[in-house]
Amino acid sequence: MGCQNPIDLLPKELLEQIQKYVDGKTIYIPKKSENRKHWGDNTDTKQFLASRNCQICSDYQDGMSIKQLAEKYYLSEKSIQRIIKQNNL
């Protein structure tokens, strides 16, 4: 994202209003919230993690220990405990 000259982007009246508050300063104007993407929106990561977590819970209900799950999924025991707790098991 590069800087753009506000003289080329904003009406003169609006630029003058902004200068009353931030004359000579650099500011960032964020996108509207409805245009913002959330974490994982551009990839399959959310779906992958949800599927993995579901499988972890299923394995736990089938009798696998926390330690076994941690080894199988290459996660810490704390992470396995958190996933199980989030799924109310």
1 occurs within a structural domain: no
40 occurs within a structural domain: no
Mean pLDDT of 9-28: 88
Question: Are 31 and 50 within one domain?
Answer: no
Question: Are 50 and 30 within one domain?
Answer: no
Question: Are 81 and 51 within one domain?
Answer: yes
Assign 1 a pLDDT band (cuts: 50, 70, 90): low
Q: Pick from 57, 44, 9: which is nearest to 29 by CA? A: 9
| pLDDT per residue as tens digits for the range 61-80 | 999 999 999 999 999 999 99
The number of domains in the chain is 2
Question: Are 28 and 61 within one domain?
Answer: no
Residue 13, pLDDT score: 92
Q: Pick from 15, 86, 18, 12: which is nearest to 53 by CA? A: 86
Q: What is the pTM of this model?
A: 0.57
- Show the domain range for 12: 6-35
Question: Are 54 and 29 within one domain?
Answer: no
- The total number of residues written for the chain in this structure: 89
| pLDDT per residue as tens digits for the range 23-36 | 888 888 877 777 67
